[in-house]
Amino acid sequence: MKKNMFNSSGPRNLVIVVLVIVGSLWLLTKVVDPKRNTEEYKYSQFLEMVEKGGIKVATVSGPLIVGTTKDGKRFETIMPADQGVWEKLAKNKVEFSVANPQTDINVWQILLFVSFLIGLLIVWYVFRQSKGGASGSGSNVFTMGKSRAKMFLPSTIKEKFTSVAGATEAKEELLDVVDFLKNPEKYKRLGAKITRGALLVGAPGNGKTLLARAVAGEANCPFFSISGSDFIEVFVGVGASRVRDLFAQARKHAPCIIFIDEIDAVGRHRGSGLGGGNDEREQTLNQLLTEMDGFETSKDPVIVLAATNRPDVLDSALLRPGRFDRRIEVPYPDLVSREQILKVHAGNVQIDPELDLKKVARGTPGFSGADLANLINEATIIASKKNQQMVTMQDIEEARDKVLLGKELKTIALSEDERKMTAFHEAGHALIRLLLPKVMDPLHKVTIIPRGRSLGVTHSMPEREKYSSNKEEMLAFVRSALGGRIAEEIVFNTIATGAGDDFVKATDTVRDMVCRYGMSEKLGPIVYSQQQGGFVYSQETAKLIDDEVLRITNACYADAKKMLEDNRDKLDVLANALLEKETMYASEIYELLGIAPREDHKLI
């Protein structure tokens, strides 16, 4: 939407400033003009005044004579070639002097000319800043207090709820907002007060901004988008002014939606800091609170949507009913949602028809929507480098390993002993997982190719979304985590540093069992919390917790060691196969070890 520059406040003020500067310069030239009170005489009049003694002072500059009469009046006249004028001036006792016409320059005129040039430069600079300057920021003295929100007309918003894969519950919550924007009278007839604000809460990359645009697209109304940091400025009062301007614009275009991204930049708890910067942020927040309470002055509805991944730091006044009435969670996508998101992003890519996106979705638990988009893009880049015609499952696997672990380290030259130890380490993890099929996620892949900070990795393939774990599953995870170190000890009769990260995961799991989930028979169903690095329980209790964590971990270690010792032949076969192939998938391992795959694992 184009704007008439004379209808906007900034350029209109610019025109006023230009007129004021030009007018001031004109008045100044009139005030200091030496000819302002000078009377022009004919030469005959001048001679007559000389004869009568009426001239007091005269200065001859070429053909020009300027001077002062006895009664204080200034005059000037043009002198013809008259050599007798000097005698007449001397005879009538007129004080006269002769000036060089080439050096008789009016200093005031020079200063005025320079001032005028400086004024023009100032006007040019201000106008350039009003248009955005070199940086294109559009920030200047006239628009500093104006909102930086970008306005999108309904015709430019293409997103609908069908454009957002997953987030089913969030879309259901937002349907109420859409319905109110479309049919406000439907609610007003019964006296209902619709939500004035909705807070979208979720980790980065899960589609909060996309959901907000989809609401505007569904409601077919204008959409104002701004970041919380855009309100804050170094000058005090600017943030509050921008908030006022934003809501004033929104009311003019109501019904509409205001979307504030990363609202925690301006909505943090008041009184949490000192200094002018904090005062400015609090003034901005106060103005935002006031504006959200003033919606009843607008005939048409204005809905505020805000997004944050830090709801814990927001001021309580911002979250009370009447402002942000609803808190809408936008979680990480589940299995079904991940498959839908993958289909959306794969729609613009040449995908192998045999590529099973459901299998990809099962192998990406904890991925956000942005992570899944990046996964498809990385796989496409890998396929393009290989000059392939389409993206295959192998490209997806390589992309996932790259995203999770880092790029393959081809320059690392491991010794044969290091490769052998890595192979037995990963074989220990995998074999424990295969020997505990009922309480472990199915095995998917084992590799000893170094990536990132890892020399090898054992992947599992979750069969479904899991929202809780039982004690047996957690103990099985600990046994599998310890399996790598145990295999090294059994085969090489030594211990190495490769199990450091495994021990961290195992210890954290056991400590959670003891301190958070009440899974210790000795300590019972009590939560032992730890806050800001300091334990909130006694030293005696801390020792009991440490003893119980050690007991459970040692028990898991002993169980896993017995399992690997009883299946030493399978451990050797799997490790030697890894040394040869470097990467093996679950189907190959099942066949190699003569283990029947579990029924639900046949989905792979």
Q: What are 347-362's pLDDT values in tens digits? A: 888 988 888 898 888 8
User: 335-404 domain in CATH 1.10.8.60?
Assistant: yes
Contact 460, 440 (CB under 8 A): yes
| Rounded CA separation 351/329 (Å) | 32
pLDDT band at 95 (very low <50, low <70, confident <90, very high): confident
pLDDT band at 397 (very low <50, low <70, confident <90, very high): confident
- What pLDDT sits at residue 25? 64
Residue owning tokens 């005059």: 75
Pairing of strands 256-261, 302-308: parallel
For 141, 454, 497, the CA distances from 485, given in Å and listed in that order, are: 66, 15, 9
Percentage with pLDDT > 70 across the chain: 79
- pLDDT tens figures, 142-190: 455 566 677 888 788 888 888 888 888 888 888 888 888 888 788 778 8
- What pLDDT sits at residue 359? 86
| Rounded CA separation 2/423 (Å) | 66
pLDDT band at 5 (very low <50, low <70, confident <90, very high): very low
- pLDDT tens figures, 219-268: 888 888 888 887 776 555 677 888 888 888 888 888 888 888 888 888 88
Contact 307, 200 (CB under 8 A): yes
Burial 170-185 (b: 16+ CB within 10 A, else e): bbebbeebbebbeebe
Domain spanning 35-105, CATH architecture:
2-Layer Sandwich (3.30)
Instruction: For 83, list phi and psi in degrees, rounded to 5.
Output: -75, -15
Task: Report CA torsion sign: 27, 32, 33, 35.
Answer: positive
Which residue among 76, 173, 282, 426 is the active-site one? 426
- The boundaries of every CATH 3.30.720.210 domain in the chain are 35-105
| Rounded CA separation 444/488 (Å) | 22
Instruction: For 458, list phi and psi in degrees, rounded to 5.
Output: -115, 115
Pairing of strands 197-201, 534-535: unpaired
Question: 482 by DSSP, 3-state: which?
Answer: helix
Q: Residue 603: is its pLDDT beyond 50? A: no
- Mean pLDDT for 186-198 is 79
Q: Residue 385: is its pLDDT beyond 60? A: yes
Contact 369, 206 (CB under 8 A): yes
- The boundaries of every CATH 1.20.58.760 domain in the chain are 416-603
pLDDT band at 214 (very low <50, low <70, confident <90, very high): confident
- What pLDDT sits at residue 111? 65
Structure-token pair, residue 400:
């996932």
Q: What is the mean pLDDT of the chain?
A: 80
- The boundaries of every CATH 1.10.8.60 domain in the chain are 335-404
Percentage with pLDDT > 90 across the chain: 20
Structure-token pair, residue 208:
């909060």
Residue of higher predicted confidence among 245 and 428: 428
CATH code for the structural domain at 150-329:
3.40.50.300
Question: 201 by DSSP, 3-state: which?
Answer: strand
pLDDT band at 563 (very low <50, low <70, confident <90, very high): very high
Range with the lowest mean pLDDT among 27-41, 251-265, 417-431, 512-526? Answer: 27-41
Contact 527, 515 (CB under 8 A): yes
| Rounded CA separation 240/246 (Å) | 10
- Mean pLDDT for 466-470 is 84
Query: Quick one: residue 500, left, alpha or beta (phi over 0 = left, psi -120 to 50 = alpha)?
Result: alpha
**pTM value?**
0.67
282 is catalytic: no
Q: What letter would DSSP give residue 602?
A: G
Contact 545, 514 (CB under 8 A): yes
- The boundaries of every CATH 3.40.50.300 domain in the chain are 150-329
Record: fold of 416-603: Methane Monooxygenase Hydroxylase; Chain G, domain 1 (1.20.58)
- What pLDDT sits at residue 30? 58
